[in-house]
Amino acid sequence: MSIWKYANPKQFMHSTAWLVPLFSYAAAGFIAVGLIWGFFFTPDDFRQGSTVKIIYLHVPSALMAINAWFMMLVASLIWLIRRHHVSALAARAAAPIGVVMTLIALFTGAVWGEPMWGTWWAWDPRLTSFLILFLFYLGYIALWQAIETQDVAADLTSILCLVGSVFAVLSRYAVNFWNQGLHQGTSVPVATGGRTVDDVFFVPLVISMIGFGLLFVALVLLRTRTEIRHRRLHALLARERAAQ
Amino acid sequence: MSHKYARKGHSSNRQRCAGFHGPPLSAMRIGMEFTVTDLACRRGELTVLSGVGFSVLPGNALVLRGPNGSGKTTLLRCLAGLTPPVAGRLSFESDQVAYAGHADALKTQMTVQETLSFWARVYGAAHTNAAIERFTLASLLTRRIDTLSAGQKRRVSLSRLVLSGRPLWALDEPTVSLDTNAVAQFASAVEAHLASGGAALIATHIDLGLRDAQVMDLTPFRADVDHTTLDPFLSEDAF
Amino acid sequence: MIALVKRDLALAIRAGGGFGLGLAFFLILCVLVPFGVGPEPALLARIAPGILWVGALLAALLSLDRIFQFDYEDGTLEVLATAPLPLEGVALVKALAHWVTTGLPLTLAAAPLGMLLNLPAQAVPALVLGLALGTPALSVIGAFGAALTVGLKRGGLLISLLVLPLYMPTLLYGADAARRGAAGLEASTPLLLLAGISAAAVALMPFVTAAALRMNLR
């Protein structure tokens, strides 16, 4: 048996039943530790004050927003190449999670940006890219919902995910180029990313990031299980209709 | 000669496809038998046909029958290469199949002449004379499609089969909106095709009066509704 | 293939083909914008490149759902899919017909309509060249969106949602070229990038478009 045996819906349901609570509890633990440590047991930044602490929500959610799309891309490729139904449904299941993560990243970014930059929103390359990512997610979900035949919907959304990935990367570079073109010497420094952060902030941030990762896995598993049940219902109903 | 349906457990479903060989057209591949073995096809997510097997010799027509929803359209679309088969083997490629579906596939703003010469160029046919002659379109050539009656449109649409130069015609309810005269005319066009070494699969409810046409009922090939191996989501144990 | 080009162009120009609809929309948009932002010449001159590009993009978007819809509904697409033509070629031809009936007229109309918006004369070469280079990408990317939604009854709104994010890079480079032109700067970098996007899109998008069509015909 290979890893592909989990591509059978029944096998997947059987194997993941105990994984969902496991990942959920682990995620809750890591996020609780990461956030409590980060919020209450780290010193205030000398320049940014306590507003810097939103980083423990902002960075992990932004990371997961991008990772969710990568996961969808891989799952779509598996569906297109090997036609494993679970893969297509996992991609479908990941999209709304990606949307929520993108929204959290955008919202916390705005909340952070207001005291720091004096504005809720700036057309900075990073911010703009996230907004574009959000639009890609919306289109992907809308296409899934618009098409009734599930296999066709899986095919079309997979190919949209592929093409969308290429254009998302293109947009990222285009946005960088465009912003330079607009205001030479950008005046809005973005202090995201863990590279410039001191260890005292970094450890809780990593814990929080692991927690968000576990949360993502737990949610994808849970939602994939729901999608599989939904799909089974769909197949049973179609069989009923055909039998009449 | 006789050909058995290759379906296990249905030995009662036998079909004789006797050969009728007319003068062959050089454009067609001659002597080629169109065999379908143990074919399963799906419509949407549901496998509607399984274990379909038959064989049509050049010069023969096979009439497909069955109630609505029995999979006639599904089978023809599968043979035309529009839907990939779930299982089974075909002895021919889909580029030998000329498919005519429910829709006429005509553009109302074009004239009959334009329509014919367009499709002739698509199929690489040298001229449109044969198509015009077989479906007696000569008097309609300068008319625009939107001025034609439903039956006339149908004839223009079916004349595309001649232009395709393909040996196996797969026709889905071709006589819809044709009157008695036009049906007879259509039947003679099919016979001319058969006589030139072609073959035809025709899904129809009415009797076309074709000589040497075999009839096959698709009802026995209906996929079992408890057929779980083809859909992983229809497992018996709940999940 | 040439026969298909001819047929599609003939169909677009004859009654019911919708030729010129996009152009009229573009004109109306350029008339409405001054009503919205006020008639001040300096302001109009500043936003004109962006308005013209966004207008061209929306005008192209307007006619996307017609690319495959009619052929799908009357069964022609099925016949074409089983015909000896490669479906990739059909997809490219359809996009070409869309470009000839929308992208090309928009490119030609951009300069005169730019006058309505007080576009600086020195921006015209970069604008027109940018549209000429960029609108083919809009058509082939749009054809992909049209192929995804061809099986849907009301796909028009969904097409916008699917295609507009894909239009982002084209719009950025195109409008940037026009803006640089207006400011009297060198615009060759965005124009080259725009040409690159168009060339890659024309070369690759027909394959995914054809794949999407096959999936929808199943």
Please provide the DSSP assignment of A183-237 as one string.
SSS-S-----SSTT--HHHHHHHHHHHHHHHHHHHHHHHHHHHHHHHHHHHHHHH
Angle, in degrees to the nearest 10, between helices C188-217 and C156-182: 170
Residue in chain B nearest C77 by alpha carbon: B105
The region of weakest confidence among A119-128, A217-226, B148-157, C175-184 is A119-128
Q: pLDDT (tens digit, 9 = 90+) per residue, C5-43? A: 888 888 877 766 567 788 899 999 999 999 999 889 999
Instruction: Give me the number of domains chain C comprises.
Output: 1
Q: pLDDT (tens digit, 9 = 90+) per residue, C76-87? A: 999 999 998 999
When scoring C74, C78, C80 by the number of chain B Cβ atoms within 10 A, the one with the most, hence best to mutate, is C78
Q: pLDDT (tens digit, 9 = 90+) per residue, B92-143? A: 888 899 999 888 899 888 899 999 999 999 998 888 888 898 888 889 999 9
Taking alpha carbons only, the member of C73, C97, C68, C82 closest to residue C3 is C97
**Shortest Cα–Cα distance, B128 to chain A (Å):** 38
Q: How far is CA A56 from CA A110, A207, A220, A223, C212, in A?
A: 14, 9, 22, 25, 41
Mean pLDDT, residues C144-162 taken together = 90
Q: How far apart are alpha carbons A216 and A194 in whole angstroms? A: 20
Type of residue numbered B1 = M
What's chain B's length in residues? 239
Asked if residue A190 has pLDDT above 50, the reply is: no
Would you call C148 and A135 a contact, using CB atoms and an 8 Å cutoff?
Answer: no
Mean pLDDT, residues B192-214 taken together = 85
Spell out which residues of chain C touch residue B103, defining contact as CB-CB under 8 Å: 73-75, 78
pLDDT of residue B14: 33
**Shortest Cα–Cα distance, C151 to chain B (Å):** 13
Would you call B84 and C218 a contact, using CB atoms and an 8 Å cutoff?
Answer: yes
What mean pLDDT is reported for chain C? Answer: 90
Asked if residue C114 has pLDDT above 70, the reply is: yes
Query: Model's pTM, two decimal places?
Result: 0.88
When scoring B42, B45, B221 by the number of chain A Cβ atoms within 10 A, the one with the most, hence best to mutate, is B45
The parent domain of residue C15 ranges over 2-217
**Shortest Cα–Cα distance, C84 to chain B (Å):** 6
Asked if residue B9 has pLDDT above 80, the reply is: no
Higher pLDDT, B109 or C140: C140
Spell out which residues of chain C touch residue B121, defining contact as CB-CB under 8 Å: 2-3
Higher pLDDT, B103 or C2: B103
Higher pLDDT, A6 or C176: C176
Spell out which residues of chain A touch residue B45, defining contact as CB-CB under 8 Å: 149-151, 234-235, 238
Domain ranges of chain B: 26-227
Spell out which residues of chain A touch residue B225, defining contact as CB-CB under 8 Å: 239, 242-243
Would you call C7 and B110 a contact, using CB atoms and an 8 Å cutoff?
Answer: yes
Kindly provide the ipTM of the predicted complex, given to two decimals. 0.91
SS (H, E, C) chain B: CCEECCCCCCCCCEECCCCCCCCCCCCCCCCCCEEEEEEEEEECCEEEEEEEEEEECCCCEEEEECCCCCCHHHHHHHHCCCCCCCEEEECCCHHHEEEECCCCCCCCCCEHHHHHHHHHHHHCCCCCHHHHHHCCCHHHCCCEHHHCCHHHHHHHHHHHHHHHCCCEEEEECCCCCCCHHHHHHHHHHHHHHHHCCCEEEEECCCCCCCCCEEEEECHHHECCCCCCCCCHHHCCCCC
Task: Give yes or no for C29 touching B (CB within 8 A).
Answer: no
What mean pLDDT is reported for chain B? Answer: 80
Task: Give yes or no for B48 touching A (CB within 8 A).
Answer: yes
Interface of C with A in 154-193 (CB under 8 A): 155, 158, 161-162, 164-166, 168-169, 172-173, 176, 179-180, 190, 193
Q: How far apart are alpha carbons C48 and B129 in whole angstroms? A: 57
**Shortest Cα–Cα distance, C111 to chain A (Å):** 23
Spell out which residues of chain B touch residue A152, defining contact as CB-CB under 8 Å: 44
Would you call C76 and B105 a contact, using CB atoms and an 8 Å cutoff?
Answer: yes
Would you call B94 and C17 a contact, using CB atoms and an 8 Å cutoff?
Answer: no
Spell out which residues of chain A touch residue B69, defining contact as CB-CB under 8 Å: 242
Task: Give yes or no for C51 touching B (CB within 8 A).
Answer: no
Confidence of residue A196 (pLDDT cuts 50, 70, 90): low
pLDDT of residue B31: 57
Would you call C161 and A138 a contact, using CB atoms and an 8 Å cutoff?
Answer: yes
Q: Which residues does residue B201 pair with via DSSP β-bridges, in sequence order?
A: B62, B170
Cβ-Cβ pairs closer than 8 A, A with B, add up to 46
Topology (CATH level 3) of domain B26-227: Rossmann fold (3.40.50)
Asked if residue B21 has pLDDT above 60, the reply is: no
DSSP code, position A47: T
What percent of chain C has a predicted confidence (pLDDT) above 90?
Answer: 67
Cβ-Cβ pairs closer than 8 A, A with C, add up to 78
The region of weakest confidence among B198-207, B224-233, C47-56 is B224-233
Q: How far apart are alpha carbons B153 and B147 in whole angstroms? A: 9
Taking alpha carbons only, the member of B48, C161, B239, B8 closest to residue A157 is C161
Contact call for residues A147 and A153 (beta carbons, < 8 A): yes
